[in-house]
Amino acid sequence: MTSGNKSTTAEDGTVTEHSQSDDQTADGGTAEAKKPRSFWKELPILIVIALVLALLIKTFLVQAFSIPSDSMQDTLQRGDRVLVDKLTPWFGSEPERGEVVVFHDPDDWLAGEPTASPNALQTVLSWIGLMPSAEEKDLIKRVVGVGGDTVECHGTGPLIVNGKALNEASYVYPGNTPCSQDDQGGQFKVKVPKGFIWVMGDHRQNSRDSRYNQADKNHGMVPVKEVVGRAIVRAWPINRWGTLPVPDTFGQKGIGQQASAAGALTVAPGGVALTAAVPLVVWRRRRVLKAETGTGTPTTATGAR
């Protein structure tokens, strides 16, 4: 049977086989090298990969949130954008004292608050994680107490956690007192149950937080399962960029604070996605070029019998 292949034998016994198509190509025959796609043809692939990665990053790693109120001044101003670490909760890490966290509305804390209708651009940006969804009812506050803690406020303060007075001068809004002197929740002593946190805004006299929701089903506590993640970076505007560390007062001896396991993810989802997508496209192009370079290469077998 004739296979259509040619063989040549060297003096050392090496046999080299050439296919008929190889000869035709060498003679200017029918096969043509596949041209690599231009960058502009690859660009849509790059964009699709970046969008998919951004969606995954928004879901599992980090998401941007906009600050809609003044309740966290001066730490956060209305209109600031923060990046929230969503990864560590997947590994069982729970919020710790002093952290600024985003959480879902636990029991109609936002009842009566107007909800703006998003435009097309906002819808796209929220889908890829560069803005929060307008339908999501989320709040951002500072964790003051975790499961097992006793938190109390008397007079104008200081705020006391597990018998330790907090020095909150570095983050409580200037002119505010740590505790509010009102009969609607400003004066309190609570025991935080396991699986819950007690949260308060840094603008103490302008924050509807755990203090003023003690009549709800959770007595003002926020279930840990409702926590979206820890706010780790104030990313926008640029002139306000900075991290959101835990204040030193929460690390004082005897308060019971544990080391934080939160990671420092500081890159916006879109940027991470684009960075990850580029190597994939480059790798794909190299595979195509390598395959083209290998077209017509002879197959060599040594030690033929």
Q: Which of 275, 277, 270, 274 shows the shortest CA–CA distance to 236?
A: 270
Angstrom CA distances, 101 to 49, 147, 161, stand at: 30, 15, 18
Cα 97 to Cα 143: distance, rounded to the nearest angstrom: 5
For the record, the structure tokens of 97 come out as 């004292």
CB 198 within 8 A of CB 143: yes
DSSP characters over 102-139? EEE-SSSTTTT---PPP-HHHHHHHHTTSS--TT--EE
Query: Could you say which of 58, 86, 126, 141 is catalytic?
Result: 141
Orientation of helix 269-293 relative to helix 39-60, angle to 10°: 140
Tokens of 135: 């339908």
End-to-end CA distance of the chain: 20
Neighbours of 209 (CB within 10 A): 22
Clarify whether 93 is annotated catalytic: no
Catalytic residue among 71, 126, 207, 210: 71
CB 99 within 8 A of CB 233: no
Query: Rounded to whole angstroms, what are the CA distances from 7 to 15, 24, 51, 153, 304?
Result: 7, 15, 52, 93, 12
DSSP string, 149-160: -EEEE-TT---E
Q: In the annotation, is 253 catalytic?
A: no
Are 105 and 249 in contact, with CB atoms under 8 Å apart?
A: no
Distances (CA, A) of 42 to 261, 279, 280, 302: 40, 13, 11, 41
Which residues are tagged catalytic?
71, 141
